[in-house]
Structure 1
């Protein structure tokens, strides 16, 4: 990668400090030349050579910048990504792509008209547990798929102060935050569902945004269940997959986010790996005998995302996260809102 992409980061809060900043720092295909921080200078520690700007317009009007990372709060994604595209910039936008699917479709149209690369940071496609789940489903030792269940539970009894994630309308809360990841994973595995049933709740005292969901996605011959709650003291398996002849369990969370929060950079040896005690368990019948085996976890690697972005911009490679896919995910999330409001199953 001898021709690095001159890149700007549109904010340097949690996602900038934990995800985009470190991933770009270790990738020789990118040169972070500007960071938008309204009042602080946090980014200078990671990018001492980058220019810190105080307005978004400074990024838009800098002709040297080729790529803008729109990693601001969800409500700003559509307008900021749109302005970047109209100014001729390639764009990576945080999930969710926008708050509404028609907004996402408009961004795709504009990017195509301008001949620009436009994609969405769906990094959890490269979680180690999800990569392992994909492998297990492809091998199908448990036979015909009957039920897929995914959990992303937390235990947080308090309402975090001074954060946009704890306030707002129906597009705020865990459905569009964690749900946009979990629904995306199901979509990657199985495509669009035939029907959606969603139950959304506020389970914490004094909460104002959704902090619980129980979503059932119906497919031909099987169902995918997606669940999240902020009041789970002792979580069970992260994934449970039942087939006609067996079951797969996988507990624990991919370690990459926690390692990034601790200040590790994603170029360290054994990045995204797990010890054998964290591996999943596969139980199935084979030739009339019960078999139990540990399934080695496939290493997680968020670096794959930005390697692909580089190849798409410099070499015309196909995007691994196609924005059209994330618009489909938004349509599923919108259907969840309707299902919960009308207390019924929605046929797609």
Structure 2
């Protein structure tokens, strides 16, 4: 059994990770770490997952010997710090994209993981979603002929919230490029 913990409890965790993991017998989501300020006015959803321990102590997650993998699903500006802390506590890490704002920071994470015999990798689960697989099947079939242009929209994306060092390519665009 693989025991994992999540850092963060937003859209990615609730809509993309947990629905898949609930059907996996060999994976146990043991904990979800949420900062206290992220819980304000948003604790009702935690009751949807009675078998998962919610905590506001990242140290508690890091020091739990049963947790082998930490999945980092936080705001982009904290991915590097959480990944390094997890690796320093001998946990494998799966980091939502964007993995890191610079190649140098990504290399630091990979080097740290390698030095400890751990795995660090970026999450790219959308390539297994039904809409992407269906589109791939249609394109591969040739029924559409030679494609000249494809338009893809993420209508919920608001560019004004892009944080310094993270452009559109780091965020949602990696899905369509992939």
What per-residue deviation string (whole Å, max 9, x for no partner) do you get for residues 90-141 of structure 1? 1111111111122222222222222223222212212334324444555557
Q: Secondary structure at the match of 1:149?
A: coil
Partner of 1:153: 153
CA apart distance, 1:170:
4.6
Matches within 5 A, 1:84-233: 84-135=86-137, 138=140, 149-155=149-155, 166=161, 168-172=163-167, 174-183=168-177, 185=178
TM-score normalized with structure 1 length: 0.44
The Cα shift of 1:168 comes to 2.9
Q: How far apart in 2 are the matches of 1:114 and 1:46?
A: 36
Comparing both structures, which one devotes a greater share of its residues to helix? Answer: 2
**Matches of 1:43 and 1:63, distance apart in 2:** 26
Residue pair 2:71, 2:93 contacting (<8 A) in 1 also: yes
Provide the residue aligned with 1:27 in structure 2.
24
1:120 and 1:159 mapped to 2: Cα distance? 23
In structure 2, what is the Cα distance between the partners aligned to 1:113 and 1:30? 26
Quick check: 1:58 aligned with 2:63?
A: no
For 2:9, the equivalent position in structure 1 comes to 12
TM value normalised by structure 2: 0.80
How far did residue 72 of structure 1 move?
0.5
- Pairwise CA RMSD: 2.9
Distance (whole Å) between structure 2 residues aligned to residue 142 and residue 47 of structure 1: 43
Give the 3-state SS of the residue equivalent to 2:164 in structure 1.
coil
Measured in 2, the distance between the counterparts of 1:122 and 1:34 equals: 22
Q: 1:25 to 1:127 in 2, by over 3 A?
A: closer
Question: Gaps spanning 5+ residues in structure 1: where?
Answer: 186-348
Task: Tell me which protein shows more strand as a share of its residues.
Answer: 1
Change over 3 Å in CA distance of 1:104–1:132 after alignment to 2: same
The number of equivalent residue pairs is: 173
Residue segments in structure 2 that go unaligned for 5+ positions in a row: none
Q: What is the DSSP-based 3-state SS (H/G/I as helix, E as strand, rest coil) of the residue aligned with 1:107?
A: helix
> 1:148 and 1:82 mapped to 2: Cα distance?
42
Q: CA deviation at 1:50?
A: 2.5
